[in-house]
Amino acid sequence: MSLWKLNKCIFDKSKTVVSSKVPQPGSKLSLRRNQTEVQNPPIGQSFNKDSTIDAADVKFFSQRMKEWWNPNGEFRLLHSMNLIRVPFVRDGLVSATKKDLHPLRDKKILDVGCGGGILSEGLARLGAAVTGIDASKELIEIAEHHKHVDPKIAENKPKYIHSTVEDHAKSTSNFYDGIVASEVIEHVNNQELFVKSCVHALKPGGRIFFTTPNRTRWSQFFVIFFAENVLKTIPQGAHQYEKFITPNELTFLLERNNCHVELTYGVTLNPVTGQWDFSQFQHLMYAIQAVKLS
């Protein structure tokens, strides 16, 4: 009964927000975002249409400094997610004809919203020249500090920059072989500017990778309510439903920015084994790979 009430309450709140699932060409996608922010001022206090930073989210993750590198701590799902997203990025950038220890050697990768550097280090282990950027100064410090811990990346430490993607892209147009935004786009303001800036920094022919929750009732229930309040596998308040983006919307944004979407996978977590897997089921979370056309 109470569950139903709660669901109803969430449903009512979000009903006003989502007007159209697929934006029409020419319409301003960030309109939906603007509406959200106006309705819920506490989240987007610092909202600025020229910036992708959501100050509240940046603060939220910065406060959890110490937890970042505990593989069994609050961010354990991000650690275990490396088991599928590192191969996802690897296989998108290189073909597996001849396997060796550093398949991503000579590949320049930008990890947008790198946080504590969990994914950046995972990619650096495969030989990639990784640049991690994050809007949080504290998180960049954690990442900077931690990159000296793992001897496997002693020769190939990632470079971390405290910056936003739109600022970073100004100096690095057509530069990277791969851009990764894993579990990030659901935390940014102005997703249109975010995607545009990411693609700007990407070389023609380079690949861009996203992993993010879908905006469905499934993800609202499991990713937000169930994972945060019942399982407590995700810190409370980590996600807002309104900020989730659907695969269609993200595909649309990418294709409008001269990219061709090559792959869309569902991403699911096995609740028993705690292992991530790619699947057909895209209603919870998904991964997208796109190539930048010349």
Partner 1 sequence: MLSNSVKRLFVRQIKSSIRTTSVRSLSAADDVTILTKPSENIKGDYDVIIAGGGMVGCTLACAMAKDSILSNLKVLLLEGGPDKEYKWKPEYSNRVVALNQNTKALMTSLDVWKRVEKMRLQPVRYMQVWDASSDAMISFSSSELLDDDVAYIVENDILLHAVNTELTSTDNNVKIVYDAKIAGYQLPKQDNSTVKSYVQMSNGDTYTCQLLIGADGANSAVRRAMGVQYLSWNYDQMGVVATLNLAEEYTNTTAWQRWIPTGPIAILPLDSKRSSLVWSTWQDHAKQLLKLPEDQFVDALNDALWKQYPRSGSVETVTSFVSSWLRRAGLPDGAARQLPPSIRSISPNSRAAFPLAFGHSTRYIAPGVVLIGDAAHRVHPLAGQGVNLGFGDVADLTKFLSNAMYSGLDITHTDWMSKYESTRQRHNVPTQVMIEMLHRLYTVDLMPVVLARSVGVQITNALQPLKKMILSHAAT
Which parts of this chain interact with partner 1 (CB under 8 A)? Answer: 83, 86-87, 90, 96, 98-101, 103, 122-123, 125-126, 152, 272, 275
Q: What distance lies between CA 199 and its chain's CA centroid?
A: 14
Burial classification of residue 145, based on how many CB atoms lie within 10 Å of its CB (0-12 exposed, 13-18 middle, 19 or more buried): middle
| Whether 80 contacts 276, CB under 8 Å | yes
CB of 86 to partner 1, least distance (A): 5
- Please check if 113 is assigned to a binding site: yes
Report residue 240 as tokens: 């807002």
CB of 83 to partner 1, least distance (A): 6
Query: In the chain, how long is the greatest CA-to-CA distance?
Result: 57
Nearer to partner 1, 152 or 232 (CB): 152
Residue 104 has phi, psi (to 5 degrees) of -95, 15
Nearer to partner 1, 23 or 127 (CB): 127
- Please check if 283 is assigned to a binding site: no
CB of 180 to partner 1, least distance (A): 14
Nearer to partner 1, 5 or 99 (CB): 99
Name the E strands within the chain. Answer: 108-112, 129-134, 159-162, 176-182, 202-213, 259-269, 276-279, 285-292
Three-state SS for 143? helix
CB of 174 to partner 1, least distance (A): 27
What is the C-alpha separation between 206 and 201, in angstroms, rounded?
Answer: 10
- Please check if 182 is assigned to a binding site: yes
CB of 126 to partner 1, least distance (A): 5
Nearer to partner 1, 5 or 98 (CB): 98
Which element (helix H / strand E) includes 168? helix 165-171
Nearer to partner 1, 15 or 99 (CB): 99
Residues flagged as binding site for S-adenosyl-L-methionine: 85, 113, 134, 182
Residues flagged as binding site for Mg(2+): 183, 186-187
Residues flagged as binding site: 85, 113, 134, 182-183, 186-187
